[in-house]
Amino acid sequence: MAGTFVFPDDVPTLTDGEVTIRPHALSDADEMLVLGTDPDSIRWTTVPVPFEHANAVNYISEAVPGGWLTRKDLGFAIEAPHADGVRRFSGSIALRPMEEGIAELAFGLHPAARGRGVCSRAVKLLLDWGFQQDGIEVVVWYAYVGNWASWRVAWANGFSFDGRVEKFLSHRGVRMDSWCGSLRADDTREPKHKWNVPPVLESARLRLRPDEDRDADIMGEMLNDPRTRNFVGRTHSTRTTSDGADAITRLREGDARGDRYNWCIADVETDRMIGHIQLFGMDGLDNTSAELGYLVHPDSRGKGVLTEAMTMVVDWAFSPTGLGRRRLLLTTAGSNKASRYAAEKAGFTLAATIPEAFPTGDDGFEDTVIYQQLNPLWTE
């Protein structure tokens, strides 16, 4: 391509009828300035700070053509209708070829174009074209941990989620934990798994809703409570996660991976977190079971909160309009009387006791007790 390539003449224009990716033009500079100074762009990308009109002009006239000439950054402008219905610059998207047939996907969307599927459609156009280019066999995606919008776009286009890498990418001189994913030329473009969105469940005094960043401080208080730490076992996640913000992010990752449902237990009047409950272990041998896990803030113990929350989750998990599960399980320490009482009040019965199998916080072991509840309305 180098030596014969002419920008912008040799950059293709691709469209699905609603969203178009095309060569950048100097007329995009004003809207690019809006994108470059947007708080989310500053938080989640490496856009220069401060970002001025001259930066937009330089990117369009120097950086983008240079990327095409060297074949290191194949960048397109995204064009789509804004909220006012007028089609104009809506972001930038690129494939960045590396060695061994790999290319990195990068994108940033104008704030006026977000939330309407524009970026996902632009990515599809780019991938359809990119996998037809010589030397591109695998496309990888990276994002700073917490950039849910970016993950959602990658997920919608069939990328696998390959995990979290600690301190992998740099952001303004600070190394950040990052998510990564990948897509191969012969992969389907459908999501590889379900993205679970926990439904809001309400009673007269409780609201069960998805976890939010604002719950971090209370989650941290629960995780660092001595009673909680004694009864959460000694898995890597429970022993290394005492920070509430990190815990909330990891819980939301579980929803996004499709392997669990997490709810904040909140006071219905204040919407303030008072506990947490989750369903996990949903991919058993017959895919008809699930397991409950839970935490209650010390200030809310002894008030029936856990039993009430359990009952709400059980009803949804057994309902044909919910998960339609046949059986629910929960595991706790034999000495955890509060947990056992709440489980029994919620309709669970003791199914098994495993001697000295539950690891407690003092590095000892005690009996594990397993409770179960069967769906009385179960039909295959």
- Asked if residue 88 has pLDDT above 80, the reply is yes
192 inside domain = no
Average pLDDT for 13-24: 98
361 inside domain = yes
CATH of the domain at 177: 3.40.630.30
The number of domains in the chain is 2
Q: Are residues 172 and 218 in the same domain?
A: no
Confidence band of 239 (pLDDT split at 50, 70, 90): low
Average pLDDT for 287-292: 94
Encoded amino acid at 280, one letter: F
**pLDDT of 235:** 52
356 inside domain = yes
**pLDDT of 2:** 47
- Which residue has better confidence, 104 or 283? 104
- Asked if residue 289 has pLDDT above 80, the reply is yes
- pLDDT tens-digit profile of 296-337? 999 999 999 999 999 999 999 999 999 999 999 999 999 999
Three-state secondary structure of 70-81: HCCCEEEEEEEE
Average pLDDT for 46-67: 97
**pLDDT of 39:** 98
Q: What is the mean pLDDT of the chain?
A: 94
Q: Are residues 101 and 174 in the same domain?
A: yes
329-356 burial code (b ≥16 CB/10 A, e <16): bbbbbbebeebbebbeebbbeeeeeeee
Residue 207, Cα to own-chain centre: how many angstroms?
22
Task: Say how far apart CA 131 and CA 125 lie, in whole Å.
Answer: 10
Q: Are residues 55 and 113 in the same domain?
A: yes
Q: How many residues does the chain have?
A: 380
189 inside domain = no
379 inside domain = no
**pLDDT of 287:** 85
Average pLDDT for 199-228: 96
- Which range, of 53-67, 236-250, 336-350, averages the lowest pLDDT? 236-250
- Asked if residue 171 has pLDDT above 70, the reply is yes
Q: Are residues 171 and 208 in the same domain?
A: no
- Asked if residue 216 has pLDDT above 70, the reply is yes
Q: Are residues 167 and 235 in the same domain?
A: no
Q: Are residues 73 and 116 in the same domain?
A: yes
Q: Are residues 148 and 226 in the same domain?
A: no
Q: Which residue segment(s) compose the domain that 288 sits in?
A: 201-374
- pLDDT tens-digit profile of 223-232? 999 998 888 8
Q: Are residues 170 and 40 in the same domain?
A: yes
Q: Are residues 25 and 121 in the same domain?
A: yes
Q: Are residues 164 and 206 in the same domain?
A: no
